[in-house]
Amino acid sequence: MFFSALIAVAQQVSAPLSRAMTESGTSVQVTVDHVDPAKSASDPLLEFENVTVRFRFSDMSSGSPIAGASPAAWIDRLRDGATTTPDQCAGKIKRFAEGSTFSRTSLDLTSYYVVIMNADATLTVVDPRFGYGDTRLLAMVSLDAPGEDWVLTADGKKLFVSLPGADEVVAVDTAAWKVASTVAIPRAARVKLQPDEAYLWVSYRGDDKDSGVTVIRARDLKAIARISTGPGDHQIAFTADNSLAFVTNPDNGSVSVIDIRELKRVRDIPVGVKPASIAYSDLAKAAYVANEGDGDIVAIDARDQTVIARIEAAPGLGQIRFAPGGRFALAVNPANDRIYVIDAASNRIVQQGKLDKGPDQIAFTNKQAHIRHRGSDAVLMIALESLGVPGAEISVADFSGGRHPPGAMSRPSPADGIVQASGENGVLVANPGDKSVYFYMEGMAAAMGNFSDYGREPRAVLSVDRSLRERTPGVYETTATLPGAGSYDLALLLDRPRLVSCFDLTIAPDPRFAQSRLPKLSVEPRVSPAAATGQPARLAFRITFADNGKPDTEVKDVVILMAGSAWQRRQVAAHDGDGVYYADFTVPAPGVYTVLMSSDSSGLTWAQYATIRVGGK
């Protein structure tokens, strides 16, 4: 990105802040405020506090809001006593906006968080750092029982989780990462939000006479209807106009149609043996049901609630899902390891292919379908552009989703184990056997990185967008967890109209953490500026206490990273005495390499310390 005529204005702000500025005909108001309603405007912003960051943009001459913009913001730590000049502000924002590998910020407000549903009664929330294989643990949400299924609101502010072991559904506030409210639902299982998010639908399984769905008002988690449909583990689909809900009843081979406005069951439609999955196509105005028992895919017209097509596949069918656009559906069959492509325009199977062992879940990005398996570590990818040509071979590639099959888990969940990472052309893959989540960028030969689930078994994963969103015309907002106490820049980039600005932001220490606060450390790199390929290069750092200069000899997790344009390695450093920690690297090719170091236990986050030029032998 080339920056010309950059405008940088530094404003002194204290927390919670509310400041305004005008530049080149654009008026900007920035606020950072407490999420906790118990706090007042006079309370300072504290380290690790949840806050709302908000920017309001308007045209200075007309007062009209600037809608449809794409602002970006970062919070970047300053050295003690440092101030940021306009040129420095422009330079750092240029690095951040270009995504420079070594421009790590304290808080990126253009990123996303990863939430993991674990086999135990917890949710893990992390800020992913895939470039180096590490993460920042943001929260660990404790539940009354292991989660079964979940659904996130479109604005990312609320996460609903079903807990069948506790006979309840909880709403998790994703700003504070705490359970905000609970509703009792015996044997709660699947949870789905209808398209307008007015109602949350929760399936439950009781006896043959009472099994169906509970309808909950999403805004306050109040149960307003309990509708018995039929026996079995139910799946739910909705029409796009929020008029009808379709609920499968696998134990009696039917689909119940519910009028959402009346909240009444209006029809039961026999579809076949053991309907296992259902998906709705607004393009076809029909719901498609995959029957596990007889292998038929049945299309139900939403206008008159009648069966309009019965498509023969093979017994053992599992999940069915529509690709973006709503024309082509994919259905997997774990019993015969096949996948079927159904064209909703003709209501027939137009393509099919052989997959790996036990395909059980389908996930989509804008360009590809990703297929998870119960008996293989391979995640298969199907190019969406290859779908729809009758009889043509399906274009399939794959990457490894870890050392163990991602679909093999001790406690299966219907929630997605593969999801698209927010703002990325890539996916997150939960691997229970590896106790890790992998990140794969489309077009690569292998996963780009992974991070540990802190010893837990991940069953499902989702991505929560933390970038600035337009809430009302001209108002862009997100929630975030502040970093540790100190002085920071709140750096802002508005592309059109072009505006670049850095605001001073002070985060106060939280007295509750006084006893556990880590001592300040000084880091002295001892790195030769040059090395030769094929020859070990020793990279060392001396770590001392900032207050007295004495060496810190007890650090156990110093990690040194050496990275070039196409190669990188990281190693846990050894202690050589007197606070000096070192690692030896042998670089394979000439070039310029950057040296970074971190130590989580000492509060030393990844930082660039040196650049080495490596020549030939």
Question: What is the three-state SS of 333-357?
Answer: ECCCCEEEEEECCCCEEEEEEECCC
The CATH code of domain 362-465 reads 2.40.128
Q: Tell me if the domain spanning 10-109+469-513 has CATH number 3.40.50.300.
A: no
List the chain domain ranges.
10-109+469-513, 271-354, 362-465, 521-615
Which segments of the chain have a pLDDT < 50? Answer: 1-15, 100-102, 130-134
The CATH code that applies to domain 521-615 is: 2.60.40.1930
Contacts of residue 109, Cβ cutoff 8 Å, sequence gap at least 6: 53, 72, 73, 74, 75, 466, 467, 468, 478, 480
User: Omega before 315 cis (within 30°)?
Assistant: no
H helix or E strand, kind and range, residue 91? helix 86-98
Q: Is the dihedral of CA 373, 379, 385, 391 positive or negative?
A: negative
- Domain 271-354 - what CATH class? mainly beta
Tokens of 18: 């509310």
pLDDT score recorded for residue 291:
98
Determine how many CB atoms are found less than 10 A away from the CB of residue 268: 16
The answer to whether 10-109+469-513 and 521-615 have equal CATH topology is yes
523, 502 in Cβ contact below 8 A?
no
Buried b (16+ CB within 10 A) or exposed e, 288-315: bbbbbebbbbbbbebeebebebebebee
Q: What is the three-class DSSP state of 546?
A: coil
DSSP 344-391: TTTTEEEEEEE-SS-EEEEEE-SSEEEEEESS-SEEEEEEGGGTT-TT
Contact 549, 581 (CB under 8 A): no
Q: Output DSSP code: residue 587.
A: -
Q: Is the CA virtual torsion 42, 45, 33, 11 positive or negative?
A: positive
Q: Average per-residue pLDDT in the chain? A: 89
- Distance between CA atoms of residues 329 and 348, nearest Å: 10
How far, in Å, are 7, 339, 409, 429 from residue 359 at the CA level?
53, 8, 14, 14
Cβ contact 250:257 at 8 Å: no
Q: Is 2 exposed, middle or buried (0-12, 13-18, 19+ CB in 10 A)?
A: exposed
